Amino acid sequence: MLKTRIIPCLDVIKNKVVKGVNFKNIRVMGNAVEMAKYYSLSGADELCMLDINASYQNRKTFIKTVESIAKVINIPLTVGGGVSDLSDITDLLNAGADKVSINSAAVRNPKLIRQASLRHGSQCIVVAIDGKRHKDKMKVVIKGGREITKNELIAWAKKVQSLGAGEILMTSMDTDGVQNGFDSNMLKKVTSNVSIPVIASGGVGSLEHFYLGHLTKSTGLLAASVFHSRKYKIKTVKKYLSSKGVPVRL
């Protein structure tokens, strides 16, 4: 039976894992390579890392960090943040990423999804979608939720699938960072409208939230703070899910 994946997410600047709400009060949580190694050893099913400040200068260090991480883990690695064209995707795959996540570049230029999946295969192209409710509709947002696009969420999710995305990383900006749980309603809408895997992201604060995330039919559950703060170990989450009858890799 296919297991539900538990995926720690590292928000990275250069080589440091950071935490900050909307780029304010950024706190360093640790060294990215050390943390990646720790999660790989302690039972993470995959690892996600995002360059949250992809400026030209920071980028070189970030790519080196991807290379170092790829060398010390042997679970799949998804890398995103600041991916704007095909050459960025190639650079990250060459650095050792297994999957590359595209977000606003896909919104600006949806053809990029098709080009990337034709060149590298759908299995390594993840489209990250940030969703937010706006005037009773679910919309796609970019720039950390500050810019609402014209795309309706469900139509966009279907479109990225048809363009060749292998997976959707779905973050609700309505629940992200608040630790009140995943956006079950938004996630269910997405999972029931696409047939590719969906990773739930945004809002985990308790063990039960992971279980509720599983109930949305998301096959991957992503979390950051609860792991970085050592509130939960990955094993703790998996044992809990297993006790609720959710298939996990123990």
- In the complex, which residues of this chain contact other proteins (CB under 8 A)? 1-5, 40, 45, 70-71, 74-76, 93-94, 96-98, 120-124, 166-167, 195-197, 219-220, 249
- Residue 211 CA to residue 86 CA, distance in Å, equals 36
Least distance in angstroms from the C-beta of 179 to other proteins: 25
Q: Which is nearer to other proteins, 120 or 134 (CB)?
A: 120
Active-site residue, 11 included: yes
Is residue 244 within 8 Å of 213, Cβ to Cβ?
no
Q: Which is nearer to other proteins, 72 or 178 (CB)?
A: 72
Least distance in angstroms from the C-beta of 151 to other proteins: 23
Phi, psi (degrees; rounded to nearest 5) at 209: -60, -35
Count Cβ atoms within 10 A of the Cβ of residue 21 and give its class: 0-12 exposed, 13-18 middle, 19 or more buried.
Answer: exposed
Q: Which is nearer to other proteins, 26 or 196 (CB)?
A: 196
130, 174, 176, 183: the active-site residue: 130
Least distance in angstroms from the C-beta of 78 to other proteins: 11
Is residue 215 within 8 Å of 208, Cβ to Cβ?
no
Neighbours of 202 (CB within 10 A): 27
Catalytic residue numbers? 11, 130
